[in-house]
Amino acid sequence: MRILVIEDNRDILANVLDYLELKGYTVDCAQDGLSGLHLAATGGYDLIVLDVMLPGIDGYQVCKRLREDAGSDTPIIMLTARDALDDRVKGLNVGADDYLVKPFALSELVARIEAILRRTQGSRKRELRVGDLHYDLDTLSVTRGGKSIRLNPIGYKLLAILMKKSPAVVRRDFLEEALWGEDLPESDSLRSHIHQLRQALDKPFPTPLLHTIHGVGYRLAESPDVQ
């Protein structure tokens, strides 16, 4: 199981990482909101442990953007020093699955992680479909009309975001932050990667799936019209 921990307190982060790895989990980490959003949107994690107070954008915004912009259903446990009812309700309203108040026992965090994974692992969708386009997230196998499609690493990440959000429009700025975090490339790399993805997905087929919404972003859908 792969877990992402987004926490800016180095001592807490180190303790959580060590304990989760001791329990047999594979763990990645980020120490600010944008880096965490980038990893969370593209990393294919089984669960995210997300602190509320983060540099850049806070945990509430990370959670909200993962749910609304990236279409992610990855379970999220929020960590916070705030014990007020309104804060807990806010975290749940933006899409968190659970809420743990600092200071907390590491054994309780693991117990909550295991409880959420038991509830969600059987039901989480691991294959994405848009029309005749299929993407198996576990094997990174992409096919359209039964024909295998190979992509580069960024292409796979970009496709996952667009398919999870389909048929909605995904904004350019969200895609750039999700793919590169704060280290945005100087050139218009997103346009180049969209072009490569379009060549792989649409060029060999009669009906395009990847549509540009000028001035806004991109949309993966069978119909070019935004509803």
**Predicted structure pTM score:** 0.67
Write the Ramachandran bin of 176: left for phi over 0, alpha for psi from -120 to 50, otherwise beta: alpha
Contact predicate 33/53, CB 8 Å? no
What pLDDT, on the 0 to 100 scale, is given for residue 110? 96
Give the Å distances, CA to CA, from 62 to 7, 104, 150, 207, 224: 12, 22, 30, 35, 29
What is the chain's length? 227
What pLDDT, on the 0 to 100 scale, is given for residue 80? 87
Nearest 5°: phi and psi at 168?
-75, 160
The domains located in the chain, with CATH, are 2-120 (3.40.50.2300), 127-220 (1.10.10.10)
* Buried/exposed code over 182-194 (b: 16+ C-beta within 10 A; e: otherwise): eeeeeeeebeebb
What pLDDT, on the 0 to 100 scale, is given for residue 8? 95
Query: How confident is the prediction along the chain (227 residues), in pLDDT tens digits per residue?
Result: 899 999 999 999 999 999 999 999 999 999 999 999 989 988 778 999 999 999 989 999 999 999 888 878 899 999 988 776 777 788 888 999 999 999 999 999 999 999 999 887 755 556 888 989 999 887 889 999 889 999 999 999 999 999 988 888 999 988 988 888 777 777 789 999 999 999 999 998 999 999 999 989 999 998 776 55
Cis peptide bond upstream of 185, omega within 30: no
What pLDDT, on the 0 to 100 scale, is given for residue 120? 76
Contact predicate 126/137, CB 8 Å? yes
